[in-house]
Amino acid sequence: MRPDRVLAVTLLLVVSCGALAGQAVPGEGSAKPSAPKASSPAGIDRIAKEAQAARDEHRVDDAIALYKKGVGLKPSWDEGWWYLGSLYYDLDQFVPARDAFRHLTAVNPNAAPGWGMLGLCEYQTRQYDSALAHLRRASELGIGASADAISDTIGYHLALLLTRYEQYEQAMKILSTFAQRELSQPEYVEAMGLAALRKPVLPEELPPTERELVMDVGRTMYDAAGLRTGAAALEFKRILQKYPNEPNVHYLYGSFLMYADADAGLAELKKELDISPAHVPSLVAIAIEYVRRHEFKDALPYAEKAVLLGPESFAAHATLGRVLVEGDIDPARGLRELEMAEKIAPDSPQVRIALATAYTKAGRKEDAARERQEFLRLRKQNDENKTLAQ
């Protein structure tokens, strides 16, 4: 989790706690207690004030004791759970930190920082399934929508876990935003290399013999994602000379070339299949290029093989569906393939518009209208998310 863990916690403590329940940060505008009872709101104010003083004076043990007392008296005190978890986290005591953030998210399920910190704790305790779910929840609630150290910490670890669970494109999408902001931390470059090379491991699990390859590819993809195309083109040529038979490298280069030189890109994708015959992304990319050229019979064998080898890939089903429908090869089967793609990835605008086309062709006007509406809604949502991330 290092190197930015402490920075993220510090910033979260400063800017986020008040957002947990629309309250002021402790000590800012709090009313002075007047002979409070321990369980009264004023009693919690007194504990909060004493705990803040302990934090300011770096008496961490005293601060923890006070926050524990406070949440014991008032289990719904979200601010107390937040600070208690953060203090434990900053001490690398991830189990009690995790438990505090669990309480926080139960008390305030809309607290994006709480879900993010819970996910980071679970990452440290190697509860990766839960960590992925909770980091995603934080992102959905908006913590990843701004470009700052807090959201970057969440995004980085979310990308690592997406890669570990073989959701490489989603991981690269997150890391591409870092590249576009010209963040060049080595750990971000390494994460990009892992995702681009489709290696389902965390950085600490990467064999030392593979790190040079991962960093080389990560730097190249970082430049490509950051639209530094001249630098990326030179780096691709260098890594192809250095790693001519490494899986995924020709696929990456082919994908890079498709926008400027589709014929050269197609050739690189086919070279990837010579090295990795079961490479589903290359099969899908080749089929899509043939669809773009309206060469549906050429697309069909690649799309068929992609579905056979990747039955859980929505892109494979969607591509085969488009080939069968748009090429008038077997529209009824193509529609079934597109419906399967929608079932796997209901939030994909591309699948929705392809389904709308297929339903129109089948005379199912109401279904086509529904899919067009969903396409427009999802596209608008994606555009809004992009705007927030800028």
Q: Give the up-direction half-sphere exposure of residue 116: CA atoms within 13 A in the CB hemisphere.
A: 29
- Band of the pLDDT at 143, cuts 50, 70, 90? confident
Written as one string, the DSSP assignment of 88-130 is HHHTT-HHHHHHHHHHHHHH-TT-HHHHHHHHHHHHHTT-HHH
User: Is 86 within 8 Å of 97 (Cβ atoms)?
Assistant: yes
Burial class (CB in 10 A: 0-12, 13-18, 19+), 275: middle
* Backbone torsions φ then ψ of 90, nearest 5 degrees: -70, -15
188 with 223: CB under 8 angstroms? no
Instruction: Please report where in the chains the tokens 């570990």 appear, as a residue.
Output: 164
Residue 294: C-alpha distances to residues 15, 300, 315, 328 (Å): 53, 11, 18, 11
Return d(Cα 357, Cα 351) in angstroms, integer: 10
Contact 253, 219 (CB under 8 A): no
What does pLDDT average to over the chain? 88
pLDDT digits (tens, 9 = 90+) for 235-288: 999 999 999 999 999 999 999 999 999 999 999 999 999 999 999 999 999 999
With a cut of 50, say whether residue 17 has pLDDT above it: no
pLDDT in tens, 304-318: 999 999 999 999 999
Contact by Cβ (8 Å): 96, 71: no
Q: Position of tokens 């969607």?
A: 318
CA distance 74 to 107: 11
Match 């993010």 to its residue by tokens.
116
Rounded Cα–Cα distance for residues 247 and 272 (Å): 7
The residue among 37 and 116 whose pLDDT is bigger is 116
C-beta of residue 236 within 8 angstroms of C-beta of residue 256: yes
Confidence class of residue 385 from pLDDT cuts 50, 70 and 90? low
Give residue 213's pLDDT band: very low, low, confident or very high (50, 70, 90): very high
Quick one: average pLDDT of 144-160? Answer: 82
In DSSP notation, 314-356 reads HHHHHHHHHHHHHTTS-HHHHHHHHHHHHHH-TT-HHHHHHHH
- C-alpha to C-alpha distance for 53 and 260, rounded to whole angstroms: 61
Q: What is the pLDDT of residues 201-210, one digit of tens each?
A: 999 999 999 9
Report residue 145's pLDDT band, with 50, 70 and 90 as the boundaries: low
d(CA 42, CA 59): 23
% of the chain exceeding 90 in pLDDT:
79
pLDDT for the residue numbered 149: 79
Give how far Cα 16 sits from Cα of 8, 244, 347, Å: 11, 48, 30
CA distance 335 to 186: 45
Q: What does the buried/exposed string (b/e) look like for 155-186 if buried means 16 or more CB atoms within 10 Å of the residue's CB?
A: bbbbbbbbbbeebbeebbebbbbbbbeebeee
pLDDT at 16: 42
DSSP state of 201: S
How large is the average pLDDT for residues 107-117? 92
pLDDT of residue 6: 40
